[in-house]
Amino acid sequence: MQNLELENLPSPEVCIKEVGKWIASYPEQPLAYLHSFGCQLNVADGEKLSGILKQMGYGFTDDVTKASLILYNTCAVRENAEDRVFGTLGSIKKLKQENPALIICVTGCMTAQKQVADKIKKSYRYVDIVLGSSAVSRLAQMLYAHMHGLKHAQDIETYLDIPEDLEPLRESTFKAAVPIMYGCNNFCTYCIVPYVRGRERSRQPEKIISEVRKLIQDGYKEIMLLGQNVNSYGKDLETPVSFPELLREIDKIPGEYWIRFMSSHPKDASPELMDALLECEHLAKHLHLPVQSGSNEILKRMNRRYTVEKYLSQVDYIRSKDPDFSLTTDLIVGFPDESEEDFQATLNIISKVRYDNMYSFIYSKRTGTKASLMPDSISDSEKSQRMQRLLALQREIAVENNKRFIGRTLTVLCDGESKKRLGNMTGRSSENILVEFAGTPDLIGRFVRIKVTESHNNMVCGYIL
């Protein structure tokens, strides 16, 4: 079979059935090992990929050495994310040598880049299937092609259809991710995502609402609505619906649950969004508002399309109504030619907003993006030092911020056992603060009321009321 014939494969439904028959003929149920790197949207894609594998008859294993199929769902956002995948691929070469029937498949954002797919084809010859991003429904077809003898099947298209009919196999029984849109139109100059994920596509509001309703009926307690910029949700629909309107519709679903969402691009964050956050019963009291930099000059060169002043006016709006409202952010340190003054401006915005948490990254050059062509005179060691300064400031702020919870009672969704202290459980409050308390594993997946007695640099502790 030649590559060309990949265009003429039977439909995904037929391929799921055919691969299912092939799998049923195995003496024992074959096991799949699937790992998703990167953001929550990619993890949500991974759950759909698992759903298809399950439909075809695969079981699952966490032990890569026991797998008949290994599937890596990759991330390309920074160079170290890609390096991790190449390292992992190198480490499983031995498994393929020992078991030539093992199927190795690589998909996700990395493989949507031609130079990466070429590198895998050339240097990792033992990879059987290379599949681009958003190609969830294509997996069954690629396995079908493999089953019919096609070696090194490669299809790096980004599929723009929305995989509505595919049931995800969810990892958690109480927290669920629900993508509300796919792709991105924003082309921030540092970012690879729009190139590997295609343009924005919103799901129909009815589909989202009925999925959330079903999850709540099934006992899910926290629903995370996902999109690269949820604030532009619905603009591409035949009958446009705004994100705050969608939130208010979801909020009408009765039950005990929280709604969270990410990411919210400041250029489109509206007063209507803030009002929904403050007024809706089920919306968690937390907003992740990625600022990326505190310098207007850098924001302009990042093509973020807001100013520090506009960003701070959004923060003022929400804090004027709830002075305690929890905000978190993403920041990039060492964007090309970021001056000491630019960096100081970033420290200033952190001090002004006093975030409860932040995700900070050293700028990573991504081939194909506009920023990759910008001159950069800042050394790696200077960038690392700036990162250390930024982390030190954030640590100080988080320690102070967490003190505000002492003596208060927080509602917490218990999500697991403490890894550090035996007999303790952990969870997150509505503000997304990590909370630790004495308890038993039967609390996992349940809301508990915690009286806070102590605060630490990245969490608070208390006891169950």
One of 32, 69, 76, 193 touching ligand SAM (CB under 6 A): 193
Does position 188 interact with ligand SF4 (CB under 6 A)? The reply is yes
Choose the contact partner of 109 out of ligand SAM, ligand F3S, ligand SF4, none; CB within 5 to 8 A by kind. ligand F3S
One of 9, 15, 34, 42 touching ligand F3S (CB under 6 A): 42
Does position 292 interact with ligand SAM (CB under 6 A)? The reply is yes
Does position 39 interact with ligand F3S (CB under 6 A)? The reply is yes
Q: What φ, ψ does residue 179 adopt, rounded to 5°?
A: -65, 135
Please check whether residue 276 is in contact with residue 246, taking contact to mean a CB–CB distance below 8 angstroms. no
CA distance 421 to 155: 47
Q: Which stretch binds ligand F3S (CB under 6 A): 151-159, 190-198, 210-218, 262-270?
A: 190-198
Choose the contact partner of 187 out of ligand SAM, ligand SF4, ligand F3S, none; CB within 5 to 8 A by kind. ligand SF4
Helix, strand, coil percent content, the chain, rounded in steps of 5: 40, 20, 40
CA distance 99 to 41: 32
Between vectors from CA 149 to CA 145 and to CA 153, what angle results, nearest 5°? Answer: 50
Between vectors from CA 444 to CA 42 and to CA 259, what angle results, nearest 5°? Answer: 50
Q: Which residue shows structure tokens 């804090």?
A: 319
One of 19, 193, 273, 397 touching ligand F3S (CB under 6 A): 193
Does position 106 interact with ligand SF4 (CB under 6 A)? The reply is no
The two three-digit tokens of residue 12, written as one number: 């995904």
Nearest CB to ligand SAM, comparing residues 251 and 330: 330
- In order of 84, 247, 258, 311, the CA distances from 447 in angstroms are 36, 22, 10, 33
How far is C-alpha 278 from the chain's CA centre? 24
Nearest CB to ligand SAM, comparing residues 17 and 370: 370
Work out how close the CB of 29 gets to ligand SF4 at its nearest, in angstroms, rounded to a whole number: 38
Query: Cβ-closest residue to ligand F3S?
Result: 38
How far is C-alpha 408 from the chain's CA centre? 31
- Provide the mask over 263-302, with x wherever binding to ligand SF4 is found by CB under 6 A and - wherever it is not: --x-------------------------------------
DSSP string, 46-98: HHHHHHHHHHHT-EE-S-GGG-SEEEEEE--SSHHHHHHHHHHHHHTHHHHHH
- Provide the mask over 194-223, with x wherever binding to ligand F3S is found by CB under 6 A and - wherever it is not: --xx--------------------------
**Touching ligand SF4, residues 222-251 (CB under 6 A):** 228-229
- Write out the residues near ligand F3S by the rule CB under 6 A: 38-39, 41-42, 75-77, 109, 192-193, 196-197
- Write out the residues near ligand SF4 by the rule CB under 6 A: 184, 186-188, 191, 193-194, 228-229, 265
